[in-house]
Amino acid sequence: MKKILLVVLGLVVVVVGCWLYINRNVASLKNQKPDVEVSAQKLLEDYTADEKTANETYLGKVVQVSGKVTTIAEEEGKKKVNLDTGNPISAIICEVESGKDIGSIKAGDEVKMKGLCSGYLSDVILVQANVVK
């Protein structure tokens, strides 16, 4: 009986620990200085030319990217600002940080966005993004 109680208690501790880890507050990037500043077109060019080298430059770093807004969408409760790269099938997707407002930006506006680069598939993704004023 004591073994069962210890196993159940252990499982509860693990589940609670995992839940706390997953739901922890992540520090905002709003006031963090960017590691790299680049245009949307150059960021995509770097990834399409040599993904390995681009990952060394951008992946996991705070990137400030400038470009023209093509679309603003909301998916799964998150706003996503897409920046034009000059390539009709690829974009820079800036997933806006939870609880942050993007102000009055709209398609066609020139903006600067800052976020954490999470990599490249056919688009480059920046998470925890903020509009730079």
Print pLDDT tens along the chain (133 aa): 777 877 777 787 887 665 655 555 556 777 889 999 999 999 999 999 999 999 999 999 999 999 999 999 988 888 999 999 999 999 999 999 877 788 889 999 999 999 999 999 899 999 999 999 7
Q: What is the pLDDT of residue 78?
A: 85
Tell the residue number behind the tokens 């056919």, with chain if given: 122
Residues 117 and 92: beta-carbon distance below 8 Å:
no
- Dig out the tokens for 133 from the structure: 């004023």
Distance CA 38, CA 114 (A): 10
Q: What is the pLDDT of residue 30?
A: 77
Q: What is the pLDDT of residue 6?
A: 78
Domains and CATH numbers, the chain: 36-131 (2.40.50.140)
